[in-house]
Structure 1
Amino acid sequence: MLYFISSSHNPAFNLATEEYLLKNYEDDFFFLYSNTPTLIVGKHQNTLAEINLEKTEKENIPVHRRLSGGGTVFHDEGNLNYCFIKKGEKGKLVDFQKYSQPIIDTLQNMQIDAKFEGKSDLTIDGKKFSGNASHVYKNKVMQHGTMLFSSDLKRLNQLLKVNPLKFKDRGVRSIRSKVTNISDYLSDPINLSEFSKKLILQVKATFPTAKEFLLTAQDNEQIEILMQEKYNNWEWNYGYSPNYRFEKLSNLAGGSILEVELNIEKGRIQNLKLNGNCIHPKAISDFTNKLKGLYHDKSAVLKTLNEINLDLYFNNMTSNQLIKAFF
């Protein structure tokens, strides 16, 4: 077992580190990292259906997709993330309770009554402080999880507040739970760095042969490449979402109504229908043809809208009004 605390707070880099170590090393790993504010969606989720896009954009919060399944989580500097990478017997690799045990043991030693509950949650006083997910690769499993230590829980709830009625798909939906911070239960306050060191000590006690690990210059170079090619890429973070249908009814200025229905496949607009009292019915099919094939991405759609004479298709409609109707 090799252990380390990541020196990076870049969420894309840390996600890429997980995948890189899983696929390029034969060693078992345990490592900890904290990220700057970011939203992390599960591998099988529809990104737009999981996040409050308006607030995410307003606060300039990046969104990344991880390698494992499960629901969407919010990371900030008060959230500590752990990752186990372990070899094992195929068919018996996934064991959420087993790999969560060092976390529970650490907190129990700190006189905090942490428990493993449900499929993969860690709780204190019936409130969730950690959610866990896993990914199997060959004869190895990567299990990672969040640990809310002193996170901004109000901000977390706001960024994950979405309207589920706009999306119809087969993506995995996040299950919202009452959450809490570990720091609220500490009799003797410590900071996140001190808590990280306690976790490392527990892992060393659980795995007596554990040794410290540092990324090499070559490791960092390869992780940077993976980060740019995948974890900072729109096609992975948004376009990888399962096919979905987007429906939205917008009440616009001056009594205008616009109803939008989009069918999205592999991130691209394949079919779209527009109805309302603000469109020119005989011309609207020409407009919809211009948007077919575009990524369902604000910047891509807005670029095209700004290149079109909207007066040919709508009554007194601006590109900014339209873009809100499409997202």
Structure 2
Amino acid sequence: MIYFPVDSLDVRHNFALEYYLMTQRKPQEPVLLLWSTRPTVMLGKYQSAQNELNLPFIKQHQIEIVRRLSGGGTIYTDQGGCQFTLIWPERGTSIDFSKGLQVITSALQQIGINAQTDSRNDLVIDGRKVSGSAQYMMPGYRLHHGSLLFDSNLDWMSHALRIDPLKAKAKQIKSVHQRTVNLREQQPSWTAAEFKARLLKALLKQTNAQTRSLSADDESALPSLAAKYFSEDKALASASQQFDHQHKTYLPGVGIISLSYSLDSDQKLSALSLDGDFFSNLNQQQFTAALIGQPYKASVLSPIIDQQLKQTPIKGLKAQELTALLF
């Protein structure tokens, strides 16, 4: 494994680095990154900023807004915690958090922090979330990144993020704050910087990672990638198109799934949008293009949806469940 030190607190720089490593540097060994950010909210790939964010609070407190290339839910990060990135040279289309979470939980246990995985993608302590993870794939590579709360500002987190009423009801929680906790409760004498240093030492020992530095050419490639893929405008962009119908549900092990659609005078799909906090490498444009123009009939749309999800699965979701939601 290769470890690249990351000093930047700019989330756009750090997301661009992940992307650059997989698409241009193309290492032949696994990669480890450990990094932090200024106060930031990170939207999942398939989420609506308007639904997930308290934008007036975020603007007032100058919190950065960015959209990941991975699915999952919105998270808040700051220098009170840290982010980890694990990149493996491998091929695949299905999301699998087990290998990455094993690396992180083992390192946490080595430094005296007892966190367990939950049923989906989080690390928890006594049922309260301390870490969330997400994944995406590029040709030949799998990326698993996640956050670790150590001494983060949970009040800002609670005010900046909105919780979907469907998820709140299903999980029987009233606020983001109620569901999360800082790791500092287990190690109250540590600072966030000390936690990060101890974690890094444990990760390097566990993975036998060799430390390497980015070249000047590597660094010079990052600003254009950050601007192209991770700008605030891109994060906040939402379709201006209005839909006639919306069907939304929360499925355990999958997350929020929302389908918005319109029909033309011949009862054919004229517009469609798939949103939520699910995990997938699904191309939304390709998915909707396969369905638009088709008659709004389950017998017609079901095999198309099945074919699309066979090509690029949504973690935990069966094609018949998505078809049933559409109808």
Same fold (TM over 0.5): yes
Separation in 1, partners of 2:109, 2:240:
40
What is the percentage of aligned positions where both structures have the same residue? 28
Shift of 1:103: 1.9
CA root-mean-square deviation: 2.8
Matching residue of 1:300: none
SS of residue in 2 equivalent to 1:6: coil
Deviation at 1:50, TM superposition (A): 0.7
Distance 2:11 2:87 in 1: 18
Distance (Å, rounded) in 2 between the aligned partners of 1:91 and 1:230? 21
- Based on CA coordinates, which of the two structures has the bigger radius of gyration? 1
Question: Equivalent residues in 2 for 1:1-327 (5 A)?
Answer: 1-27=1-27, 28-91=30-93, 94-161=95-162, 178-186=179-187, 189-208=189-208, 210-234=209-233, 236-239=234-237
For residues 227 and 43 of structure 2, what CA distance do their matches in structure 1 show? Answer: 18
Ranked by relative contact order (alpha carbons within 8 Å, sequence separation 6 or more), the top structure is 2
Counterpart in 2 of 1:289? none
1:82-123 deviations in whole A, cap 9, x for unaligned? 00010124356x431211122212222233321011111101
Give the 3-state SS of the residue equivalent to 2:66 in structure 1. strand
**Change beyond 3 A, Cα 1:196–1:43:** same
CA contact (8 A) 2:16 2:222 kept: yes
User: Residue 162 of structure 1: CA displacement?
Assistant: 6.6
Counterpart contact for 2:69–2:136, Cα < 8 Å? yes
Structure 2 CA distance for partners of 1:39 and 1:185, relative to 1, 3 Å:
same
| 1:263-286 deviations in Å (ceiling 9; x for gaps) | 999xxxxxxxxxxxxxxxxxxxxx
Q: What is the CA–CA distance in structure 1 between the aligned matches of 2:219 and 2:71, rounded to whole Å?
A: 25
Deviations 1:199-246 (A, max 9, x none): 2333333323x2102221111111011112331251x21226696669
Whole-angstrom CA distance in 2 between matches of 1:233 and 1:152: 22
SS of equivalent to 2:202 = helix
Q: How many residues are aligned here?
A: 237
Contact residue 111 and residue 202 of structure 2 kept, 8 A: no
Q: Is the 8 A contact 2:93 2:137 kept in 1?
A: no
1:146–1:244 CA distance, 2 compared to 1 (3 A): farther
2:257 match:
none
Which secondary structure does the structure 1 equivalent of 2:46 belong to?
coil
Distance 1:6 1:71 in 2: 24
* Residues 47, 237 of structure 1: 8 Å contact kept: yes
TM-score normalised over the length of structure 2: 0.66
- Paired with 1:242 and 1:115, the residues of 2 have a C-alpha distance of 41
Is the contact between residue 110 and residue 202 of structure 2 (CA under 8 Å) also seen in structure 1?
Answer: no
Q: CA deviation at 1:48?
A: 1.5
Q: Deviations over 1:103-159 (max 9, x none)?
A: 212222233321011111101121110000000111211100010010011110100
Asked whether the equivalents of residues 130 and 183 of structure 2 are also in contact (C-alpha less than 8 Å), the reply is yes
1:276-307 CA distance string (max 9 Å, x none) = xxxxxxxxxxxxxxxxxxxxxxxxxxxxxxxx
Separation in structure 1 between the aligned mates of residue 98 and residue 145 of structure 2, nearest angstrom: 12
Q: Structure 2: how far apart are the matches of 1:233 and 1:34?
A: 18
Instruction: Give the Cα–Cα distance (whole angstroms) in 1 for the partners of residues 221 and 130 of structure 2.
Output: 33
Q: Distance in 1 between matches of 2:64 and 2:123?
A: 26
User: Gaps spanning 5+ residues in structure 1: where?
Assistant: 166-174, 247-262, 266-327
> 1:196: Cα distance to partner?
2.3
- Which consecutive unaligned segments of at least 5 residues does structure 2 have? 167-174, 245-259, 263-327
